[in-house]
Amino acid sequence: MKNILAPSILSADFKVLGEQIRITSDNGAKYLHFDVMDGMFVPSISFGMPVLKSIQGVSPQVMDVHLMVTDPGRYVEAFQEAGADILTVHLEACEDVQAVLDKIHACGMKAGVTIKPATPVEALVPFLDQADMFLIMSVEPGFGGQVFIPESLDKIRSLRSMLKERGLNTDIEVDGGIYQNNVKEVLDAGANVIVAGSAVFKGTIADNVAGLMEILKENE
């Protein structure tokens, strides 16, 4: 299974966002992770469709959009028009998760489902054959720079096991508190898409991405 790095632009310097995105792409990061927060589902507010649209064409990366918003079904078409390739929604934010996944697929995007740290991984069971990716939050969603929650590893293992039992090889993405010193544990648990914000954008971006990519490739 291919391991993929998804730098989170929440930690980027927006004065030079395009330049920083290109550096991540040039050093092997295939995805770009885009955290959308509405100040309701999570306390913080980040950015939305205009920012996503503005970076179209900057790099060939897959636009991996994580909606931390209430009633995300309202925004599916708008994010498709803005350039999203993968749209991930919170199970806790949807009245009808299946309807939202169907809507995302109907718009031609891949659909992801994510859960907060307090939500049991078993809540994903009804959607195991419906989503193209599952995102395990390893910190409380809403803020960057938090410490990885160790219990997340058990969630990843359980989810990978449940997928394998059903003959599914679905991507498992993990977001929160991941650095070069703990990314191997996350991969070993069964994840293959790694979101990294501070670990990419704090310091020398090219070196940070190259270091993470080396570990990802060694553990494929």
Full pLDDT tens readout for the chain, 220 residues = 899 999 999 999 999 999 999 999 999 999 999 999 999 999 999 999 999 999 999 999 999 999 999 999 999 999 999 999 999 999 999 999 999 999 999 999 999 999 999 999 999 999 999 999 999 999 998 776 789 999 999 999 999 999 999 999 999 999 999 999 999 999 999 999 999 999 999 999 999 999 999 999 999 9
pLDDT for residue 142 = 78
Give the chain's domains with CATH numbers. Answer: 4-218 (3.20.20.70)
Phi and psi dihedrals of 31, rounded to 5? -115, 160
CB 61 within 8 A of CB 21: yes
Q: Please state, in angstroms and rounded to a whole number, the distance separating the CA atoms of residues 170 and 194.
A: 14
**Which residue intervals of the chain are DSSP H helices?**
17-26, 49-54, 76-82, 97-106, 152-165, 183-189, 198-201, 205-218
| Catalytic machinery residues | 35, 175
